[in-house]
């Protein structure tokens, strides 16, 4: 119950890593708003599980890549709970396309959700926290791709590298307001976005060959780090950091 009484918003919380984080925060005592773009039914299912734990839960729906939606997502979460203490920026999309074949529209779409969306939602949440004098925390879900290149993921890795610097900039400028900002950088975590790739023997063998622990993660593997970074007691001196949860993937580099 390290997060008893905390009020959280998790974007992209209807499935995969976001779902695991939303439920993990609720188990530690937080009330959780589950953000989704289109998967309303899945988000409602997560909220039902949150409420079954005795916590408050609600669904907020919209595109994090649009300014008006980002502002509304934060407002609905904060108004629903009477404030906001914690934001987990998690909404993201993935496309595997060779560099020479990436269309401008695809580049824009990846950067809009995976980087711009983090900026928009975090800015809206931070403004609310500052206005209300909240000692808040923001956790950005990045990727090991912020540190190493990967075939056919130019736009994705560039966006995640941007998330790393966005995390540092936010941490620096929000520190006077006692708002901590950190990131987690997962490695190969099996979710709906990559399950078809992992099922292919060639892909699976190639990835495992570059992971020292030889393990593919599950969404639940990242939850502990988020809870730690969200805790104003245990992580009170931690800001601007990226916690790698990658089974050693980045030890060897690209």
- Convert the pLDDT of each residue in 178-219 to its tens digit: 999 999 999 999 998 889 999 999 999 999 999 999 999 999
Q: What's the pTM value of the predicted model, to 2 decimals? A: 0.95
Q: What is the mean pLDDT of residues 33-46?
A: 96
**Confidence grade of residue 103 (pLDDT, cut at 50, 70, 90):** very high
Q: What is the mean pLDDT of residues 43-58?
A: 98
3-state class of 138 per DSSP?
A: strand
Query: Residue 212 gets which letter from DSSP?
Result: T
**Confidence grade of residue 142 (pLDDT, cut at 50, 70, 90):** very high
Q: What is the mean pLDDT of residues 40-67?
A: 97
Query: Residue 251 gets which letter from DSSP?
Result: G
Give me the active site residues, please. 143, 156, 160
Q: What is the mean pLDDT of residues 118-132?
A: 98
Q: Please calculate the CA angle 142-224-61 and round it to the nearest 5 degrees.
A: 55
Q: Please calculate the CA angle 225-226-229 and round it to the nearest 5 degrees.
A: 85
Q: State the alpha helices, DSSP H only, in the chain.
A: 16-27, 40-52, 67-81, 104-111, 117-132, 154-174, 195-198, 201-208, 223-230
Q: Angle, nearest 10°, between helix axes 40-52 and 16-27?
A: 20
What pLDDT, in 10s, does the model give residues 13-28? 999 999 999 999 999 9
Average pLDDT, the chain: 96
**Confidence grade of residue 128 (pLDDT, cut at 50, 70, 90):** very high
Instruction: Note the pLDDT of residue 161.
Output: 98
Q: How many Cβ atoms are within 10 Å of 70's Cβ, its own excluded?
A: 26
Instruction: Note the pLDDT of residue 205.
Output: 93
Domain ranges of the chain: 7-190+217-246
Share of the chain above pLDDT 70, in %: 99
What length does the chain have? 254
- Flag whether pLDDT at 45 surpasses 60: yes
Output the six-digit token pair for 168.
Answer: 């540092």
- Flag whether pLDDT at 160 surpasses 90: yes
Class of domain 7-190+217-246: alpha beta
CA distance 193 to 182: 24
Output the six-digit token pair for 58.
Answer: 């609600």
Share of the chain above pLDDT 90, in %: 95
Q: How many Cβ atoms are within 10 Å of 133's Cβ, its own excluded?
A: 10
**Confidence grade of residue 253 (pLDDT, cut at 50, 70, 90):** low
């Amino acid at each position: 119950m390290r997060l008893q009484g905390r009020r959280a918003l998790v974007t992209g919380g209807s499935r995969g890593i976001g779902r695991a984080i939303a439920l993990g925060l609720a188990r530690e005592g937080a009330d959780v708003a589950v953000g989704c773009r289109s998967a309303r039914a899945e988000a409602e299912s997560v909220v039902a599980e949150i409420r079954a734990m005795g916590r408050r839960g609600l669904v907020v729906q919209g595109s994090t890549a649009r300014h008006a939606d980002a502002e509304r997502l934060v407002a609905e979460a904060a108004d629903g709970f009477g404030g906001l203490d914690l934001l987990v920026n998690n909404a993201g999309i993935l496309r595997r396309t060779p560099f020479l074949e990436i269309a401008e529209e695809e580049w824009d779409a990846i950067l809009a959700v995976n980087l711009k969306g983090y900026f928009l939602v975090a800015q809206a949440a931070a403004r609310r926290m500052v206005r209300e004098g909240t000692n808040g925390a923001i956790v950005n879900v990045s990727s090991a791709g912020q540190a190493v290149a990967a075939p056919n993921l130019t736009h994705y890795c560039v966006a995640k590298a941007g998330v790393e610097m966005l995390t540092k900039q936010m941490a620096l400028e929000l520190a006077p307001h006692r708002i901590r900002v950190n990131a987690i950088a997962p490695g190969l975590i099996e979710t709906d976005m990559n399950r078809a790739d992992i099922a292919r023997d060639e892909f699976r063998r190639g990835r495992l060959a570059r992971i020292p622990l030889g393990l593919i993660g599950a969404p639940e593997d990242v939850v502990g780090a988020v809870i730690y970074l969200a805790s104003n007691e245990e992580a009170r001196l931690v800001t601007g950091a990226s916690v790698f949860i990658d089974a050693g993937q980045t030890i060897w580099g690209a």
